[in-house]
Every structure is written in structure tokens, then in C-alpha cells.
Amino acid sequence: MSAEDLEAYENDLELELYREYRDVVSLFAYVVETDRRFYLANSVDVQVRTNGGEVFFELTLEDAWVWDIYRASRFVKSVHVVTFKDVNVEELTKPEMEIPA
């Protein structure tokens, strides 16, 4: 397999992942970004913890979808994340009326 073949393969996987994201985003209430992953979730609990002067975040996500090109199954029942880096949680707005495509 050449480098071009590998790049084309990864581009196809990324396009598939984007299409899946587009199809499932309306099923979720929150977008969560960490330094390593991007999640969609219906329940998010963020706890700020300290240990010896260090601050870290402990996240618990329920009913989630993981943006990860290499996962066989991106839907997960629960996720537990501990990180020392920034965390971004946004609540998705739901339109009152769905507009036909």
C-alpha cells in the first residue's frame, strides 16, 4: 500500500465519520471537547478536583458518542475522563421545529 493509498483510505474514514456525526448530532444535548477527544452526550457531570495544588477535571458522560476514526463502535453507555487540560462543554440548541431538507 502506497502513502497515497493510505492517505485516501484515511480521508474516506474521516468523511464517513463526519457523515455519521451529522446524522447523530441531533440525538444529543451536549458537545464535550477535551484535549484528546470530542464527544456528544446526553448527560455531562464535570467536577473540578485538586490534589497537592494541582487542579484537574473529572468528567462523567452518559449516553455518549465518541469522535474517533478508529473505534469500531462510537456509541458508549458511559465515559469517565480525568484530565489536567482544558475542558469545553456546550449545550446544543434544539430547534423548536425541524426544517425539511
Report d(CA 81, CA 32) in Å as an integer: 11
Could you read off the pLDDT of 39-57 as tens digits, one per residue?
A: 999 999 999 999 999 999 9
How far is residue 78's CA from residue 80's CA, in Å, rounded to a whole number?
Answer: 7
* pLDDT at residue 99 tops 70: no
pTM of the model as a whole: 0.82
Give the DSSP per-residue string, 25-62. GGG-SEEEE-SS-EEEEEEEEEEEEEETTEEEEEEEEE
**Alpha-carbon span 39 to 1, nearest angstrom:** 32
Q: What percent of the chain has pLDDT over 70?
A: 94
